[in-house]
Structure 1
Amino acid sequence: MPTSNRLSFWTCAAVLALALWTSGAATPVYPLYSSDWHLTPFLTTAIFAVYPLVLVVVLLVFGDLSDTIGRRASILLGVLSSIVGVLLFALAPDVVWLLVGRAFMGLGVGLSLSPATAKMIDVAGSANAARTGAISTASTAVGLVFASLLGGALVQYAPFPLHLTYWVLLGVEVIVLVLVFRLDRDRPADAGRWRPHGIVVPRYLWGAVATAAISLSASYAIGAVVLSLGASIGKQLTHTSNAFVIGAIIALSMVVIGVVALASRKVPLLAALPVAFVAAVLSFGSLILAASLQSLGFFLAFTIFAGIAYSLLFAGGLQIIGRFTPEHHRAGTLSAGYLVAYLVQGAAALWLGSEATAGGYGHAVDLGAPAIVALVLVALVAGVVLLRPRAPRRPRIESVLTTETHEVMTID
């Protein structure tokens, strides 16, 4: 890979890490918001859920923006929007500022996440989709480790626990903004004027995109439990208010995500998806036991198995899109997958937060666990159907491609 391409690849990996750091930055602070501002579990998860719900709208309207204006320009707009959101958190005097800040974070990540992922696949090539998916997954895990571990340390041991972690993140955002600005301009020469028209997915890609979206959704549903409720459940089980200890517990799951992503990059998807299902069953079985027995050991088992399931499902979804989609449709198809995943994540966070407010965390876990495991099972079945060996009589791909401009699915 030429040096310029290598720099572009790793700059975009940094954008992915930053996106997930931004997403999870408030995780170690949620218990403080709850105690200092007297927030209910529903309102706490609402702060989390605003981000993915706004992000869904952004993906719906601007999902294929980078296919027209270029990956670099779209990522720049995204990072700038994230900076506004983080600044609002850093200055927030009350929960209203947090809700508005989360909206800007959703806008920023929505504008940058798909283009950064697409740029990595563009640079590395479709033949390296598995490696790119693994590095993308590991990058997101690094961002979440910084959010939970560094954030927990700053909340616990540094001054201004409600705000300092966001000032540190803001500094990193500015550094990444400079790196993105130095990327080569990549607006397509034949690109016309961009107009909002929803996400367009060619008919021949429907199966692949749907399968990828289910796999990404399953991983993000698991992430919703870890990121929106994990800190509060961990605080309850450890009987401590030490944000660094709680952040370290959450970070364990993120470390597992990164390690599994890199270790499994050569594992065939047909083998990885069943392992993800088994890990999901074990993770939520452990969470149910942790809630019912008030056991920290079972909660640690949950974070480990949840990390395994998340990693394999997320990397699998990206690998499917990288393998099956051409470059000129890549941002749009990635946006379609992320759109569904973030919609599921936001809905799951709000639902579980509502149930936790009404009946406690154990009640929320008892309801959420079977639903999320069922979604992982659907991802497994869809993956097996898509990836199973085909009969030799299937139509030639050229004949399918000729219908691309006439048979498309539009999400608007």
Structure 2
Amino acid sequence: MPRDLAASVRPEGPNRLAFWTCASVLALALWTSGAATPVYPLYASDWQLTPFVTTAIFAVYPLVLVVVLLVFGSLSDTIGRRASILLGVSASIVGVLLFALAPDVGWVLVGRAFMGLGVGLSLSPATAAMIDIAGPVNSARTGAISTASTAVGLVFATLLGGALVQYAPEPLHLTYWVLLVVEAGVLVLVWRLPRDRDEKAGHWRPRWPSVPRALLGAVGAAAVCVSASYALGAVVLSLGAEIGVTLIGTDNAFVTGSVIALSMLVIAVVALASRRVPVVIAVVVAAVATGLSFTALVLAAAQQSLGLFLAFCVLSGVGYSLFFASGLGIVSRFAPEHHRAGTLSAVYLVAYLVQGATALWLGAQATRGGLESAVDVGAPAIVGLALTAMVAVVVVMRGRERRRRVAA
């Protein structure tokens, strides 16, 4: 980000507007990601889709996004944050329009690919811009607001989306028309951001996201943290509605959307409440919450218990929030500005690859053996990933503290 946007630790005036515009892009990205969640049961019933095809609709998005991050991960470091975000939001608009018009699953899959393209082009630059504006000294605050922004987007996707699907006309399409209007509004806000291309950056060419050798440990820890949070998100967003329908005993999209939105609300509250919590403590709490959440989910599936499913939603929200904020906080502290977008792209690349693979794997398992079987095999793997994230962060942060003491 240029110096005219890299401002004080508490953005004011134009910098404040730019900061919150980028936060709105994060919210929009996750709203776009989760927009289909309340509609999945309708797709399954109206179009006779198996759980594998339903989760494939979800998984196309992160898998395309991984390809985009591989090729365009450092694009905004060359053409500027604003230009990259504009391209991303425009591609998302195309994807949402295809969903709004979709007569069959083929349109939905293509639309999902455009959503992945759009979020891949906009998510890392928007996150990097927020860090640039607020500065590394405010890394905890920026991480908390980033996490809360994504949660707000998911709340709109599940709660508002569920209400539109259940009570408004055109349940397969209207929620996307509403999202399209919001996308257009955010596009206008992004257009008004200051132009920020660094003339010394040269011409862009496709290249893999690059991470300096000195940052590999920190980026690895951040990537595992965000991967753990996104794996949790894959369970909630790709299978949560169908699990909810089974346990609640109703096909009311607003009711199931409200239950899933509970997890998103917890994510936002925890993110804002925990911004002063040290990273090491945060990841330990996140790992414990993840373990408890899947214990509750396994028992909920076995006992057909709505109360235990609600406990899963709350605990998984705690785990997601703390892992995601911790991952972004580590990047904020360790990555210099000129490597920040590429570093974030590497982190998101790993996380979305994990999310897409998790959704497809669990969908295939649910098709073969049912939802309870998918939960039983998925729980140990995701809890293991959470424990890996905890260990990685502890090792990285202790190493940093050790080097600081030696330098002193």
Partner in structure 2 of residue 404 of structure 1 = none
1:393 deviation in Å?
7.0
Deviations 1:70-102 (A, max 9, x none): 000000000000000000000000000000000
Cα separation, 2, equivalents of 1:391 and 1:314: 25
Q: State the secondary structure of the residue aligned to 1:190.
A: helix
User: Does residue 320 of structure 1 match 2:320?
Assistant: no
| Residue matched to 2:244 | 234
Q: Deviations over 1:207-258 (max 9, x none)?
A: 1111100000000000000000000000011110100000000000000000
- What secondary structure sits across from 1:390 in the alignment? helix
How many positions carry a matched residue from both structures?
Answer: 396
User: Match of 1:223?
Assistant: 233
| CA distance in structure 2 between the aligned counterparts of 1:168 and 1:183, rounded to whole angstroms | 24
Query: How far apart are the structure 2 equivalents of 1:93 and 1:320?
Result: 44
Q: Secondary structure at the match of 2:402?
A: coil
Give the alignment of 1:325-404 within 5 angstroms: 325-388=335-398, 389-391=401-403
What SS is found at the alignment partner of 2:201? coil
Q: What is the aligned partner in structure 2 of residue 12 from structure 1?
A: 22
Give the Cα separation in 2 of the matches to 1:391 and 1:48: 43
CA distance in 2, matches of 1:187, 1:229: 41
| Matching residue within 83, 102, 109 for 1:99 | 109
User: Unaligned regions of 5+ residues in structure 2, if any?
Assistant: 1-10
- Residue type of the partner of 1:179? L
Residues in 2 aligned to 1:208 and 1:107: alpha-carbon distance in whole angstroms: 27
Residue aligned with 2:210, SS: strand
**Long gaps (5+) in structure 1:** 397-412
Whole-angstrom distance in 2 between the partners of 1:51 and 1:249: 23
Deviations 1:315-341 (A, max 9, x none): 000000000000000000000000000
Q: How many angstroms apart in 1 are the aligned matches of 2:107 and 2:384?
A: 36
Q: Percent identity?
A: 74
Q: Is 1:61 matched up with 2:76?
A: no
Identify which of 199, 203, 207 aligns with 2:217: 207
Q: Which amino acid aligns with 1:32?
A: L
Displacement of 1:380 after TM fit?
0.2
The 3 A distance-change label for structure 1 pair 8 and 366 is same
Alignment-derived partner of residue 306 in structure 2: 296
CA distance in 1, matches of 2:358, 2:207: 28
Identify the residue that residue 272 of structure 1 maps to in structure 2: 282
- Partners of 1:168 and 1:235 lie apart in 2 by 24
Q: Tell me the residue number matched to 1:408.
A: none
Query: Runs (4+) of structure 1 moved beyond 4 Å?
Result: 391-396
Query: Does residue 125 in structure 1 map to residue 138 in structure 2?
Result: no
Once the 2 structures are TM-superposed, how far is the Cα of residue 169 of structure 1 from its aligned partner? 0.1
Is 1:52 matched with 2:62? yes
Residue 2 of structure 1 deviates from its aligned partner by 2.8
Structure 2 letter corresponding to 1:345? Q
Give the secondary structure class of the aligned counterpart of 1:256.
helix
Q: CA deviation at 1:395?
A: 7.1
Q: Which letter maps to 2:201?
A: A
> How many Å apart are 1:160 and its aligned residue?
0.2
* CA distance in structure 2 between the partners assigned to 1:310 and 1:99 by the alignment: 26
1:161 matched to 2:171:
yes
Letter in 1 for 2:68: V
Displacement after TM superposition at 1:270 (Å): 1.1
1:42 aligns with 2:52: yes
The equivalent residue for 2:185 is: 175
Secondary structure of 2:200's aligned partner: coil
Counterpart residue identity of residue 201, structure 1: V
* d(CA) in 1 for partners of 2:386, 2:61: 23
Whole-angstrom CA distance in 1 between matches of 2:174 and 2:191: 26
* 1:391 shift after superposition: 4.9
State the SS of the aligned residue for 2:250: coil
1:199 counterpart SS class = coil
Distance 1:280 1:329 in 2: 31
Task: Please give the secondary structure, in 2, of the residue aligned with 1:175.
Answer: helix
* TM-score of the superposed pair, with normalisation by structure 1: 0.95
Q: TM-score normalized by structure 2?
A: 0.96
Q: Secondary structure of the equivalent of 1:267?
A: coil
In the aligned structure 1, how far is the partner of 2:183 from the partner of 2:96?
A: 9
Alignment of 1:191-202 (within 5 A): 191-202=201-212
